[in-house]
Amino acid sequence: MIAFEEKEILALSLRSENETIHLVRGINNNWDIQSPIKTTADLSTLNSLLFDLKEAKITEFIKISLDIPKKFGLVTPQKSFSLKMKDGKTWTLRFGNQTSNGKQVFASRTGESTVFSISKEVVNKLFRSLHDLRNKKLLQFESDEVTKILIKASDKLFELKKKGSEWHLEKPEKIKTKHIGHDLIWTLKGLEFNSIVTPPLSENLAGLNAPLFTISLWKNELEEVAALKVGKLFDQEQEYIVQTGNQQYRVKNKFLEAIPIELEKFMPQ
């Protein structure tokens, strides 16, 4: 349906009935969402979207006309997808009404009067939501800079320190932990939220006044680079309320259960 090189794209926009999402290329080939909120984009989701766009196939060309009939719904399209390229050109794909069987959607491209149909399934796959496109990583830090990890759970304090490339438990006992420190860094680096708690709950209701545990990452012993407080588990959704900075999030239990908060979890197997 369209041939393009990802590296030539400067910006892209997805407009649907509910929202318009505008993304721009940042430095080091990262992408940023400019609206409806300002945040970084999830690169894996964006790359997947661009791959799906490249792979999308036209089902059938309908007709050629100087005036696109209103019955196609393309005078005021329901959805549109635009790419702004480095050469200054903007390519737009407009989507209108569904076909009578509901399986296809009428569409048109920039600079063409031809109307064509494309699978509704393909169209739905292209239009990712803001939640899908935004970066959902909870903690931002450089893995190699972290030299100390503190985990506070009720009346227990676990302190891990990095010596060279190895991690060791220093408190409450000195234990060679082998891979646990590296596993913790990997888990926390990939930790994602499921949703943002808006408006935030009271600390008591969120369980943050007496958290299940808190974990903090330190650089050069003195500089805290990331911290997370884990509150109440909502059993039905299997989600914890967590807080980092001043924002509360819901995080799936499966992402947090790998964090050790009992001494035996640090023992060599």
CA gap 174, 168 in Å, rounded: 7
**pLDDT at position 84:** 94
CATH: 2.30.29, 3.40.50, 2.60.40, 1.10.20. Which one for 6-133? 2.60.40
The tens digit of pLDDT for each residue in 82-131 reads 999 999 899 999 999 998 888 999 998 888 878 899 999 999 989 999 98
The tens digit of pLDDT for each residue in 8-66 reads 899 999 998 888 999 999 888 889 999 999 999 999 999 999 999 888 888 988 866 55
Domain ranges across the chain: 6-133, 143-266
Q: What is the pTM of this model?
A: 0.76
**pLDDT at position 66:** 54
CA gap 189, 139 in Å, rounded: 6
The tens digit of pLDDT for each residue in 170-181 reads 999 888 887 888
Kindly report the average pLDDT of the chain as a whole number. 89
* Residue 1 predicted with pLDDT over 70: no
Query: Going by C-beta distance under 8 Å and a sequence separation of 6 or more, which residues neighbour residue 199?
Result: none
CA gap 197, 172 in Å, rounded: 34
Bigger pLDDT: 216 vs 68: 216
Q: SS3 of 255, please? A: helix
The tens digit of pLDDT for each residue in 67-85 reads 566 788 888 888 999 999 9
Closest to 239 (Cα-Cα) out of 229, 220, 253, 249 = 253
